[in-house]
Chains A and B, each alone.
Chain A
Amino acid sequence: EPEVTQTPSHQVTQMGQEVILRCVPISNHLYFYWYRQILGQKVEFLVSFYNNEISEKSEIFDDQFSVERPDGSNFTLKIRSTKLEDSAMYFCASSRTINTGELFFGEGSRLTVL
């Protein structure tokens, strides 16, 4: 069964460092998403991406964040200068169609900012 894969599974970084989280969505999916889940809190929407551009982003997704689909298979989330409060589990997701909600999630990348 096709699945969304994410790397790394866990990354520890120093405050102020840049971090890139990588995702390989399901191959025939057209819509890509990043969500995050701070420990013990709800899953929060960050950004959606379609046709090589951002479709929607939340208030969390400020200028420190960027997304890219550099080579037609990977979908990356970059945090330019990490803050302590960026520590969270980051989930990538993809879907075949718009707004039907059947998102397929990866297993997440845990980011720890020290």
Chain B
Amino acid sequence: AQSVAQPEDQVNVAEGNPLTVKCTYSVSGNPYLFWYVQYPNRGLQFLLKYITGDNLVKGSYGFEAEFNKSQTSFHLKKPSALVSDSALYFCAVSAYSGGGADGLTFGKGTHLIIQP
């Protein structure tokens, strides 16, 4: 069974400072890793993904994430936070089984609050 852990319920960052939202995963085989963002009363929006290749992946809105196989982590980062980045962030994992469309397993989410 695959699982995702987001150890922080909430992360507070001052505007302009770098931010990190943590994620660790557990999966059999090679992981596919994703970050999604949810704004209030909206559906989840795709931010970025790691499938293979470079460990540092870049996504929407200036976000990036680093895949670390030895630490089984996929932390979300941004060099300079904006107030508009305040939202709920979900890390997710999938493992290709060679068959059907496997569902994503989501973490419980981390509230990111950027203070002006």
Chain A positions within 8 Å of B, measured between CB atoms, are 4, 31, 33, 35, 41-50, 55-56, 58, 91, 93, 95, 98-108
Q: A99-B32, A99-B96, A107-B42 are in contact. Are A48 and B103 (CB under 8 A)?
A: yes
Asked whether any CB of chain A lies closer than 8 Å to the CB of B19, the reply is no
Of the candidate stretches B44-52, B64-72, B76-84, the one touching chain A is: B44-52
Residues of the B chain whose Cβ atoms lie less than 8 Å from the Cβ of A42: 90, 106-109
Of chain A, the residue at the smallest CB distance from B32 is A101
Contact yes or no, B46 A104, CB < 8 A: yes
Count how many pairs of residues, one from A and one from B, have CB atoms less than 8 Å apart in the complex.
Answer: 77
List B residues 77-116 near A (Cβ within 8 Å): 90, 92, 94, 96, 99-109
Contact yes or no, B92 A101, CB < 8 A: yes
Residues of the A chain whose Cβ atoms lie less than 8 Å from the Cβ of B51: 100-101
Residues of the B chain whose Cβ atoms lie less than 8 Å from the Cβ of A91: 43-44
Contact check: which of A4, A55, A95, A99 meets B43 at CB < 8 Å?
A4
Asked whether any CB of chain A lies closer than 8 Å to the CB of B34, the reply is yes
Asked whether any CB of chain A lies closer than 8 Å to the CB of B28, the reply is no
Separation of A98 and B95 alpha carbons in the complex (Å):
11
